[in-house]
Structure 1
């Protein structure tokens, strides 16, 4: 199916999640993706003595994961469905003209594990940003004002 910019704009209006929320989730997902595997699970020392290296490693009580999980779980079901649909759109499973179809598919697949699914998907932030871009949105202004 060919991308039709006018149709994509009309379809983009059907987003139930604000692009700003998606951009915030993208930033947090990228923070998580930047983490490395745990080298010492229980260092038992003062983090400042270790140059706070543990913030760059995945830990069970990772505040980024907790924040991201809490945020995604606090979204409405429709907003969660939009997130999944945006991710699928961004990883090139669909074109922007297929927004209604991808959203319907995400609604059928929706369950209580949206946060775990998104966090467990490598490059989820990139996919979400690409999905937004296909619908005519950008995180550039959001990042400039927040970072």
Structure 2
């Protein structure tokens, strides 16, 4: 269903929790994703935020593609509670990231 590896989403979660210290690295990481990964990352955050229900994931993905008017890194880094939204989105999608989290610790 999602076309971004859970480890990449977890990397964004960890970098976003570093605050200003990880901001440049987070920006570079998101900027380095391909367009499909960026759209999925955005859709996951929207599902986690409650802007879309899990059954509307395909619509969230289409919206992420069609309404991308600013760089994805700028948009996501400006989103309040980004790490929490991504975690909730992954959980809603049924993606277990336990192994990925342990690898980053």
Aligned length: 105
Trace 1:71-90 onto structure 2 (pairs within 5 A): 71-90=29-48
Matches within 5 A, 1:51-62: 58=20, 62=21
Structure 2 counterpart of 1:140, from 93, 98, 103: 98
Q: Which has the higher helix share?
A: 2
Q: Report whether the alignment pairs 1:16 with 2:3.
A: yes
The whole-number CA distance in structure 2 between the counterparts of 1:93 and 1:27 is 22
Q: Is the 8 A contact 1:129 1:139 kept in 2?
A: no
Q: Which ranges of structure 1 fall in alignment gaps of 5 or more residues?
A: 1-11, 33-57
Where structure 2 has 5 or more consecutive residues not aligned to the other structure, the ranges are none
What is the distance in 2 between the residues matched to 1:84 and 1:68? 14
Which residue in the other structure is 1:97 paired with? 55
CA distance in 2, matches of 1:142, 1:104: 27
CA RMSD of superposed structures (Å): 1.3
Q: What's the TM-score, normalizing by structure 1?
A: 0.67
Structure 1 or 2, whichever has the larger Rg, is 1
Deviation at 1:130, TM superposition (A): 0.8
Q: Distance in 2 between matches of 1:146 and 1:113?
A: 26
Task: Select which of 15, 21, 25 maps to 2:12.
Answer: 25
